[in-house]
Structure 1
């Protein structure tokens, strides 16, 4: 190989390394933001005088645009340029994080959280699209593996780092934490990512995205009002259902050009998997928000409350590969039935957590271990089952929709937290927490039943 060719190979490898680290850092900051908020909510509620509805919207203001627009973000990356959309999304996310850190009022914070959600809906799908376009063969598999591993580390480290920052410096630093790695990711992206777009990519379904935001927004607003003592909750819920009906009509009209092609639901398997995803992640999100709230209200430091969640990502990181292989041997539907049921047992076990003198080893660790084992058994087979439930033309849409469904389930769960929060959103009723834990356990068991029916039909 001559010197010019050797230099070209070296430049390509350096460019690929910069691309990988740009996408890893960019997507990781979004993952961190989704987890650190769990331990910062009590301090935010106290610092900004938030009531129960304000607490709920601090979370859902981020989740709403992310859930509704993530599919448009992927289509826009293909149509307008993956590098461009990634950098725009990262810039919006970073500026919104700064706005969160300096928020003088709750309304300011909620508006900035909306900006974070929109930014995340652009940068998250664009980061995977970049890895798929800029890497080939084995290098692509390794890059995506590194991206997934970094996401797992971000999920594990987020609550601990966030809790320490809350204890040491205050809740505003939870958002400031995100800014330095986001700036580094922007610089690396500008230097290393090749860019590129798909000239045959369809036009993003803007009308579908707008209808999704309106429908989900009204539904979440109505549920939040209804559970936190507000007015006109039922009217907002009805408006959300009307918008959802219009959304379905529009998506059916667009056919395969839709943001959510309704052909996905042509099989009972995909519908069962969608129900499983919605219920399981609703249960998980609700409990993972309430548990740190309860622990901090009982006198735990935010750092310790964040560490109490650590068994979940550790078990999932250690066992996901094994769960994927086991799923191939025993059948994904068996794993998707057993996993949610075991996670449900973990949720229900939280009923034993006392009102005072809560100990990690005796009261929290057993329940979190069961939840971790159950989620590990479910998550890896779920991804495989979703892809197998549809034809290859809809594989990308199915994967994206399943991811959005998980977030929507979590968002609906958060909108119901007004039933559990007390003291104007500053605490958690132990009796209501126990009821929520038992309900999460029951919901997870129903998710497991749906998982059993996700098996392919036997040939006749």
Structure 2
């Protein structure tokens, strides 16, 4: 890599790191949050989903803004907004205030990932791009895995509130690097953003997710449930229809005419829905069911993190050489096997015999999956549209996690006891297997000898 490329890679990694870190660091803090602010499992679901709703909906807008107005500008806006929201969450006096602040934080986080990844795709090409994406994926995905560990330490030693304040450190470093790098953006003439479409998408997702979360409390026959579900679904359908005719769509439907793009996003739906469900259920059950301290619950996923960091970059390079199909098939299926190993967890709890093997197998599968998945999707789209392509894929991943968490109470049977934990493990495995089968049937390997930017 040249000096500029290294600089770009560090900015991209740090810019995305906080969004991925915060997405999972909160999981281990959920029991402490509900203990202090009240609300039980409903508060826990909304603390996660308020973030994912705005992140999943507005990440599409951010992708369009990134391509139209410049990646560095969008990245700066996201970093500052994320930092301010993190401070507000740390000072939250009530659960309602915290949930609203989490929604604001998700909106700011939507501006981080697409612009960060677009910086890589516009500064790297060919196998170098595959390796750079592998490094970016390893570091940002490791943030998702190491988040529970950091959160656990902060919850046990100080307070859950510090689990959000810690975001300020990488945000500050990234802003300094952006200032010293001297990057300049160019604005596309006549650029416009479909704000009405963004509102329809956000309200549509919000209505449907609200119904899914609150359904166990009110029942499907209650107008409190079916009315927001119907209105939300209608708004989301209207949003999709609008994207077919609006001049500047935030979700360009023509992208889904590319085989690897749409297939990769279907696989993303299964895989990242499973990851979100598994990540939340494991750290919460280890505290509330197995009686582990928050730090130990966070440490449970450390083997997965180590394997991801060690092998993701190498797998990314091999994917650039051999193609992503094999890795995207074997990786999710391996993670599915790892999820089924959690069925060995019993009343007589033993981390080393019941959880550790699952974490190792999950880590191997994750390292095989994440970089090839990202490369396959972005490699199918030209660099001039890398911002929106990245945004769509990340939106799909977040919405998949959003729906999985919204269905948590239904999946576990209302209570995250041992039976509920086992049910969640089976659902996780089924989603992973579906992701691997989808990749095998749909993904096609691009020419292995091309060093030119994807087109």
Is TM-score (shorter-chain normalized) higher than 0.5? yes
- What is the CA–CA distance in structure 1 between the aligned matches of 2:54 and 2:263, rounded to whole Å? 25
TM-score w.r.t. the length of structure 1 is: 0.85
Distance 1:296 1:348, change over 3 A: same
Root-mean-square deviation (Å): 3.2
Shift of 1:99: 0.8
CA distance 1:17–1:282, shift in 2 (3 Å): closer
Q: Number of residues paired by the alignment?
A: 439
Query: Closer, same or farther in 2 for the Cα pair 1:124/1:56, shift >3 Å?
Result: same
Q: 1:122 — aligned with what?
A: 111
| 8 Å CA contact 1:74, 1:129 repeated in 2 | no
Q: Flag structure 2 segments of 5+ consecutive residues without an equivalent.
A: 447-455
In the alignment, the residues of structure 2 paired with residue 391 and residue 193 of structure 1 have an alpha-carbon distance, to the nearest angstrom, of 25
Alpha carbons of structure 1 residues 191 and 158: separation in structure 2 relative to 1, 3 Å: same
Once the two structures are superposed, residues 202-233 of structure 1 have per-residue CA deviations (whole angstroms, 9 ceiling, x without a partner) of 32232222221111111111111124546532
Q: 1:393 deviation in Å?
A: 6.4
Which has the larger displacement, 64-73 or 105-114?
A: 64-73
1:178 equivalent in alignment to 2:170: no
Instruction: Provide the TM-score with structure 2 as the length reference.
Output: 0.86
**Preserved CA contact (<8 Å) 1:78 1:201:** no
Larger radius of gyration: 1
Q: CA deviation at 1:402?
A: 1.6
Quickly say closer, same or farther: Cα 1:330–1:421, change in 2 above 3 A.
same
Partner in structure 2 of residue 410 of structure 1: 401
Three-state SS of the structure 2 residue aligned to 1:85 is: helix
In the alignment, is the contact (CA less than 8 A) between 1:337 and 1:449 conserved in 2? yes
Residues 179-258 of structure 1 aligned to structure 2 (within 5 Å): 179-200=168-189, 202-229=191-218, 231=222, 232-254=224-246, 257-258=248-249
Residue 333 of structure 2 corresponds to residue 341 of structure 1: yes
Of residues 140, 152, 156, the one that matches 1:151 is: 140
8 Å Cα contact 1:269-1:453 kept in structure 2: no
Please list, as runs of the form range in 1=range in 2, the aligned pairs for 1:19-30 lying within 5 A after superposition: 24-30=13-19
> Whole-Å Cα distance in 2 between the matches of residues 283 and 181 of structure 1?
28
| CA distance in 2: counterparts of 1:345 and 1:153, whole angstroms | 20
1:184/1:362 Cα in 2 relative to 1: closer, same or farther (>3 Å)? same
Contact 2:82–2:109, Cα closer than 8 Å, also in 1:
yes
Q: Which moved more, 1:195-204 or 1:111-120?
A: 195-204
Q: 2: distance between equivalents of 1:151 and 1:444?
A: 20
The residue that corresponds to 1:386 in the other structure is 377
Worse-superposed segment, 310-319 or 88-97? 310-319
Q: Is the 8 A contact 2:212 2:407 kept in 1?
A: yes
Deviation at 1:421, TM superposition (A): 6.4
In 2, Cα distance between the equivalents of 1:282 and 1:92?
26
Alpha-carbon distance, 1:101 to partner: 0.6
Is 2:288 the partner of 1:300?
Answer: no
* Residue equivalent to 1:46: 35
Which blocks of at least 5 consecutive residues in structure 1 are unaligned? 1-11
**1:33 Cα deviation after fit:** 1.0
> Is the contact between residue 164 and residue 302 of structure 1 (CA under 8 Å) also seen in structure 2?
yes
CA separation of 1:227 and 1:341: change in aligned 2, threshold 3 A? farther
Task: Say if 1:327 and 1:381, in contact at 8 Å, map to a contact too.
Answer: yes
How many Å apart are 1:155 and its aligned residue?
Answer: 3.5
Report the Cα distance in structure 2 between the residues aligned to 1:56 and 1:350, rounded to whole angstroms: 22
Partner of 1:64: 53
CA–CA separation in structure 2 for the residues paired with 1:452 and 1:92 = 40
Q: Which has the higher contact order (CA 8 A, sep 6+)?
A: 2
